[in-house]
Amino acid sequence: MSLNGSRIALLIEDEYQILEGWYPLLRLQEAGAEVKVIGSGTKNSYTSKEGYPMEVDAAAADVSASDFDAVVVPGGFAPDNMRLHPEMISLVRDINQSGKLVSAICHGGWVLVSAGVLNGKRATGYLPIKDDVQNAGGTWVDESVVEDGNVITSRTPVDLPNFTRAIIAYLSKSNAESSGGQTRSNATDLSGDPAGAEYEVGAKVSS
């Protein structure tokens, strides 16, 4: 399944969980998607809980829902920081209201709670956020991946393969439906070389 033409926002903030940030980034790029790393705008590089940096492509205030087909929210302690920035919450809310894919893993569900995405939805995440999901109107489901309409949620790093497979399957189907069975292929890869999109890494590592 190819994601050529798919534009995905990966939200990032300090203390993100390293696997939940980098695994989706690399796997979705491998599938052909153009992934933009979106930060809160307070700095140009954010550090994981484990001390590994990821540079951003743009601030949330400088992009809009129309720029993307999907958003991915990783976990760690980053979602707690993201919730302090209205622009990040608004981006997720607008993407959801546009009927586009909203996905989150682990504590990333906190951002979906703040954006009002989970009301009436089945969802999962890291077990300690169960009450938050339910208080936001969601129905908690303890499964590796839960898909409800345009919302995909997952639990912890061990579920990352299933999480990214679900995202790829959803977007591949969406691409095929929007192009009458033809996968879109007109997006600009971060590397500037669409032919090599699935082998290029868009995020930059600080030295």
Q: How far is the CA of 44 from the CAs of 12, 41, 57, 98, 114, in angstroms?
A: 11, 7, 8, 28, 24
Per DSSP, the residues of 92-125 read HHHHHHTT-EEEEEGGGHHHHHHTT--TT-EE--
Q: Looking at 107, 121, 155, 184, which residue is catalytic?
A: 107
User: What tokens does 198 get?
Assistant: 């699935």
| Chain length of the chain | 207
Q: Which of 42, 49, 59 is nearest to 22 (CA)?
A: 49
Task: Give, as one character, the DSSP assignment of residue 182.
Answer: P
Strand-pairing partners, residue 102, are: 71, 151
Please, what is the angle between helix 18-30 and helix 160-178, to 10°? 40
**85 is known as an active-site residue:** no
Q: What is the C-alpha separation between 135 and 128, in angstroms, rounded? A: 13
Which residue numbers are catalytic? 107
